[in-house]
Structure 1
Amino acid sequence: MSTGRLPEREQRILDEMESVLRRDRQLTLRLWLLRLGPRTRRALANRPHPLTVALFAVLSGTLLFIGLTTSSAGMVWAFAGLWSLTLIGFVRLLCRWTEP
């Protein structure tokens, strides 16, 4: 193979192929995931189960009720932490259910 510049026609074809590949969001995501470590990939691939998210929501509501009635700072912080996990799980479920 020559190391010189490609002919104009081949360069145009190559540019067109690159632009098509840049628009492919799934390919971009796969390539991005390949750059991550195996533990991070596994953590991102895990998708929450609907029952787990429902259980987190019930526990969050319980912690909110206990935190409000007792005015305990620990319960309020526990609610805040669990509620954030519940919201993340719910958003990931919505993304999974709405993806084509």
Structure 2
Amino acid sequence: MSIGRLSEHERRILAEVERELCRDHRLDRALRTFRPGPGPGLARLASYRPRALTVALLCVLAVTLMVTGIVTSEPGVVWAFAAVWPVTLFAVFQLLCRWTEG
């Protein structure tokens, strides 16, 4: 790819693309009113507010997987518990923080 100036043909193509984009009113409005959200980063994760029923179901699932993993020693069950347990702790922590807010 050259870093020099654009050829006449490339400039005409670019001008045509710009004209087509300027005609698209929905795109223009979407770009003017665009507000980036927190995205999939930590801010969005920290704003997660679980319901009590969700936390209760996660706790039941985690305990069930833990007991099943202890009894059967199946690697799949142990790995499922390892995946569910941190999510459960995070949800419980978020719920307790929400309940204790002033």
Deviation at 1:37, TM superposition (A): 4.7
C-alpha distance in structure 1 between counterparts of 2:93 and 2:81, whole Å: 18
For the pair shown, the structure with the greater C-alpha radius of gyration is 2
TM-score calculated relative to the size of structure 2: 0.56
- Structure 1 residue runs without a partner (length 5+): 1-35
Runs of 4 or more, structure 1, over 3 Å off, are 40-44
Count of residue pairs brought into register by the alignment: 65
Shift of 1:44: 3.4
Unaligned runs of 5+ in 2: 1-35
Identity of aligned residues (%): 51
Deviation of 1:42 after TM superposition, in Å, equals 4.4
Q: Larger helix proportion, structure 1 or 2? A: 1
What residue in structure 2 maps to residue 38 of structure 1? 38
TM-score by length of 1: 0.57
What is the identity, as a one-letter code, of the residue corresponding to 1:70?
T
Give the equivalent residue in structure 2 for 1:5. none
Cα RMSD for the two superposed structures: 1.9
Report the secondary structure of 1:38's partner residue: coil
Q: Which residue of 2 aligns with 1:64?
A: 66
